[in-house]
C-alpha cells in the first residue's frame, strides 16, 4: 500500500513539479532564442557586404545542421556566426571588455575556434550539400569563411554595442541539465550518490596502496612506450624561457615546440591484458553504430590545452587512448558497453616541469588528481561536494623520465601512477596523433565522419547507468564524450576543461622570472 503524502510534503512535491516544468520551458526557450546576425548587423548599420557575409556563414550553419555534421567541441556565439567559444576563452570575457589589445587577441582566438570547427564540418559535409553553398570544395569554402570572418571582425571591433553583446554572449553552458536536477529531486538523491562516490574513492585509495606495494594481481601485463625519445630538462627549460604570450597572457607554442613537449611527457602504459578489449589503438568507422578500434596500431591522441591561475595561464598536455569496449562482467552490468579509454593530463609550471597530473575516462568518470610536492591541496568550499580525489601524490619527475600508468583488464581502471624505472621488459610502442583527426574519421564508403555526434557524445556508447544517474543532470551518463563535454562530478558541478579547475583545488607556486610573460610580436 502506498503511503499518502502529508499536506506539507504534497505542497513541496507540487512545487517541485512546477519548478521542473518551468525549468524545462526556460531551457527550451533559451535554446530556441534566435539572435539573427543579419538583423543585428543591420540594426548596427553594418555595410551591406558585412551583412552578406553574416548571411552566408549562417547558411553554412543551417546546411551543417540539416546534414547532422555540426562539430560540438566549441560553442557557437549567438548572433556572431564567425565566432565560437570554449571555457578557457569564456574566462577572459571581462579582460577582453576592458583592454583593447586583449579584445583583439580574444576575438582572434574565437575566430580561430570557429574556423577549426568549420574545417571538420565542411570536410564531413556531403558533396551534394556542399554544392548548395556555391563553392567547389571545402578549401574554397574555408577561404571564404576566413575572408568573411575578417570582414565582420573589423566591423565588430568598431561597434561598442556589438562588442558588449559579444562579451555578454560568449559563454559556454555547463553539461548539467538543471531541469533534470529539479525533476529528479537532486537535493535528496545527491546524498546517496555522494556516499557512493566516497565509497569508490576509499576503494580506489586501497587499490593504489596495494599496487604501490607490488600487489597488482596475476593478469599478464603488456607495456607500451611512445615512439621516439623525449627532450632533456634543459631543452624543455629553453622552450619555456623563450615562450611568448599574446595580449591575454596565453602561451604561444610553435607546432614544433608543442610536438616536443607532447613527446617528452607522453606516459608509459602498463595494461593488464586478458583479451582484445585491453588493446588500444586507432579509431575508425566500420559497420557498427559506434566507431571501432584498430588495435594493430597502438595510438594516443594528443592535444595542448591551458589552465588559468589568476593572471597566469599554464600549459597542459593531454593524452587519450581508446579501447574497443568495456566487456560485460555479469548479467547486470550497467557500466559495460562499446568503447572505453583513458584521458591523462599533465599541467606544467612556468619552467615546463610537471605541477600536477589528473585523469578521467572519456565518459568523464573517475576523475583523479596526482599532485607533485610543488602544489598544496585546498579544501572544498562546502561539505558533501566532489572536489579533488587524490589517490596518491608523486615526486618531482623531471624529463626525460616518464610516468607509468597502470590499468586493470576489462574495466581499464587506473590503479597506479609512478615514475618510470625502466623495468618491465621490452615494451611495445605507440604513436602520438593530434586528436583533431577524431573529428574526421574515415568511413568504409570513402567519406569522413566525426567520432562525435552533434551533442558531443560518441554514438553507440550508451551505458545502462544513464537510467539511474539522470537525476544528477548529466546527459547520457557513462557514454563516451568529446573534449569540452566532460562533466566529471556526480555531486556538484565540475568540468574537465574548466579554466580554473586546477587553481581552485590546489595552491600553485608563484610565477618565477622565467614565466612566459612577454607579449609576442604583433600582439
The whole domain housing 84 covers 34-169
Angle between helices 233-241 and 255-265 (to 10 degrees): 150
Verify that 375 and 253 share a domain, yes or no.
Answer: yes
Look-up: residue for cell 553583446? 165
Give yes or no: residues 151 and 211 share one domain: no
Please check whether residue 299 is in contact with residue 429, taking contact to mean a CB–CB distance below 8 angstroms. no
Q: Select from 228, 232, 236, 405 the least CA-distant residue to 315.
A: 236
Rounded Cα–Cα distance for residues 285 and 441 (Å): 7
How far apart, in whole angstroms, are the C-alpha atoms of residue 63 and residue 70?
9
Banded model confidence at residue 1, pLDDT cuts 50, 70, 90: very low
Whether 119 and 47 map to the same domain: the answer is yes
Q: Is the pLDDT reported for residue 519 higher than 60?
A: no
Residue located via cell numbers 563535454 = 485
Task: Tell me the mean pLDDT in the region 43-69.
Answer: 95
Q: Write the DSSP symbol of residue 276.
A: G
* Lookup: cell for 362: 572519456
Q: What does the angle CA 336 – CA 406 – CA 469 come to, to the nearest 5 degrees? A: 30
Going 248 to 251 to 255 to 258, the CA torsion angle's sign is negative
Tell me the CA distances in angstroms from 395 to 236, 306, 356, 372, one per residue in order.
Answer: 19, 22, 10, 5
Handedness of CA 225, 226, 228, 229 (dihedral sign): negative
**pLDDT at residue 397 above 90?**
yes
Closest to 406 in 3D by CA, of 396, 420, 390: 420
Whether residue 266 sits in one domain with residue 144: no
Per-residue pLDDT tens over the stretch 140-178: 999 999 999 999 999 999 999 999 999 999 999 999 999
Q: How far is CA 194 from the centre of its chain?
A: 24
Band of pLDDT at residue 424, cut at 50, 70 and 90: confident
Same domain, 206 and 119: no
**Total number of residues shown for the chain:** 523
Overall domain count for the chain: 2
* Phi and psi at residue 41, to the nearest 5°: -70, -35
443 lies in some domain: yes
Beta-bridged to residue 434, according to DSSP, are 302
The percent of residues in the chain predicted with pLDDT above 90, rounded, is: 85
Helices and strands (H, E) in the chain, number of each type? 15, 18
Task: Pick 38 or 73 by higher pLDDT.
Answer: 73
Q: Tell me, yes or no, whether 253 lies in a domain.
A: yes
Q: Is the pLDDT of residue 6 over 80?
A: no
Residue 409 near residue 415, CB atoms below 8 Å: no
C-alpha–C-alpha distance, residues 479 and 397, integer Å:
33
Answer for the pair 239, 352: CB distance below 8 angstroms, yes or no: yes
| 267 domain-assigned | yes
Q: What is the pLDDT of residues 307-352, one digit of tens each?
A: 999 999 999 999 999 999 999 988 889 999 999 999 999 999 999 9
User: What was the pLDDT predicted at 35?
Assistant: 62
Burial class (CB in 10 A: 0-12, 13-18, 19+), 81: buried
Do 134 and 203 share a domain, yes or no? no
The answer to whether position 10 is within a domain reads no
The answer to whether the bond into 502 is cis (omega within 30° of 0) is: no
The confidence score (pLDDT) of residue 87 equals 98
Q: Are residues 348 and 489 part of one domain?
A: yes
517 within some domain = no
What is the chain's mean pLDDT, rounded? 91
pLDDT-derived band at 511 (thresholds 50, 70, 90) equals confident
Q: How far is CA 86 from the centre of its chain?
A: 9
Average pLDDT over residues 451-467: 97
Q: Which of 137, 169, 201 is the last residue of a domain?
A: 169
Q: What's the rounded Cα separation, in Å, for the pair 466 and 124?
A: 29
Contacts of residue 202, Cβ cutoff 8 Å, sequence gap at least 6: none
Residue 247 Rama label (left phi>0; alpha psi -120 to 50; beta):
alpha
Same domain? For 240 and 157 the reply is no
Residues 439 and 306 in one domain: yes
> Are residues 165 and 262 located together in one domain of the fold?
no
Q: Are residues 218 and 127 in the same domain?
A: no
- Quick one: 339 and 212 in the same domain? yes
26 found inside a domain: no
Examine residue 28 and state whether it is found in any structural domain, yes or no. Answer: no
In a domain, 18, yes or no: no
d(CA 399, CA 175): 36
pLDDT for 217 equals: 82
Phi, psi of 235 (to 5 degrees): -65, -40
Amino acid at each position: 500500500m502506498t503511503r499518502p503524502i502529508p499536506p506539507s510534503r504534497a505542497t513541496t512535491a507540487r512545487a517541485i513539479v512546477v519548478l521542473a516544468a518551468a525549468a524545462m520551458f526556460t531551457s527550451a526557450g533559451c535554446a530556441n532564442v534566435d539572435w539573427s546576425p543579419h538583423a543585428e548587423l543591420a540594426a548596427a548599420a553594418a555595410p551591406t557586404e558585412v551583412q552578406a557575409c553574416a548571411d552566408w556563414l549562417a547558411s553554412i550553419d543551417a546546411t551543417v545542421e540539416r546534414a547532422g555534421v555540426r562539430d560540438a567541441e566549441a560553442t557557437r556565439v549567438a548572433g556572431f556566426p564567425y565566432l565560437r567559444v570554449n571555457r578557457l576563452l569564456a574566462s577572459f570575457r571581462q579582460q577582453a571588455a576592458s583592454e583593447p589589445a586583449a579584445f583583439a587577441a580574444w576575438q582572434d582566438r574565437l575566430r580561430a575556434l570557429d574556423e577549426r570547427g568549420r574545417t571538420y564540418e565542411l570536410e564531413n559535409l556531403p558533396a551534394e550539400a556542399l554544392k548548395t553553398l556555391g563553392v567547389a570544395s571545402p578549401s574554397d569554402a574555408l577561404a571564404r569563411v576566413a575572408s568573411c570572418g575578417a570582414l565582420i571582425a573589423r566591423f565588430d571591433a568598431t561597434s561598442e554595442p556589438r562588442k558588449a553583446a559579444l562579451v555578454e554572449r560568449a559563454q559556454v553552458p555547463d553539461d548539467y541539465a538543471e531541469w533534470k536536477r529539479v525533476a529528479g529531486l537532486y537535493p535528496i538523491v545527491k546524498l546517496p550518490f555522494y556516499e557512493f562516490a566516497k565509497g569508490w574513492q576509499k576503494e580506489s585509495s586501497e587499490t593504489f596502496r596495494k599496487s604501490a606495494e607490488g600487489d597488482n594481481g596475476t593478469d599478464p601485463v603488456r607495456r607500451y612506450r611512445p615512439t621516439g625519445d623525449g627532450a632533456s630538462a634543459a631543452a624543455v627549460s629553453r622552450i619555456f624561457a623563450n615562450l611568448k604570450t599574446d595580449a591575454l597572457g596565453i602561451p604561444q607554442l610553435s607546432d614544433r615546440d608543442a610536438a616536443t613537449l607532447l613527446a617528452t611527457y607522453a606516459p608509459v602504459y602498463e595494461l593488464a591484458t586478458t583479451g582484445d578489449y585491453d588493446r588500444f589503438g586507432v579509431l575508425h568507422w566500420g559497420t557498427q553504430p559506434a566507431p571501432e578500434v584498430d588495435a594493430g596500431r597502438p595510438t594516443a591522441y594528443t592535444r595542448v590545452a591551458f589552465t588559468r591561475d589568476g593572471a597566469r595561464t599554464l600549459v597542459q598536455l593531454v593524452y587519450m587512448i581508446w579501447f574497443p569496449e568495456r566487456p560485460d562482467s555479469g548479467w547486470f552490468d550497467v557500466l559495460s558497453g562499446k568503447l572505453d579509454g583513458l584521458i591523462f593530463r599533465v599541467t606544467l609550471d612556468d619552467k615546463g616541469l610537471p605541477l600536477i597530473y589528473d585523469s578521467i575516462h572519456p565518459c568523464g568518470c573517475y576523475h583523479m588528481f596526482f599532485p607533485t610536492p610543488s602544489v598544496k591541496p585546498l579544501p572544498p568550499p562546502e561539505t558533501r561536494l566532489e572536489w579533488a580525489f587524490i589517490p596518491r601524490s608523486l615526486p618531482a619527475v623531471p624529463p626525460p623520465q616518464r610516468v607509468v600508468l597502470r590499468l586493470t583488464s576489462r574495466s581499464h581502471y587506473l590503479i597506479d601512477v609512478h615514475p618510470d624505472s625502466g623495468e618491465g621488459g621490452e615494451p611495445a610502442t605507440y604513436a602520438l596523433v593530434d586528436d583533431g583527426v577524431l573529428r574526421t574519421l574515415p568511413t568504409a564508403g570513402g567519406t569522413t565522419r566525426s567520432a562525435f555526434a552533434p551533442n558531443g557524445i560518441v554514438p553507440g556508447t550508451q551505458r545502462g547507468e544513464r537510467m539511474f544517474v539522470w537525476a544528477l543532470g548529466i546527459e547520457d551518463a557513462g557514454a563516451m564524450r568529446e573534449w569540452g563535454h566532460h562533466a566529471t562530478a556526480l555531486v556538484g558541478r565540475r568540468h574537465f576543461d574548466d579554466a580554473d579547475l586546477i587553481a581552485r583545488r590546489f595552491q600553485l607556486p608563484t610565477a618565477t622570472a622565467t614565466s612566459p610573460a612577454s607579449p609576442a610580436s604583433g600582439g
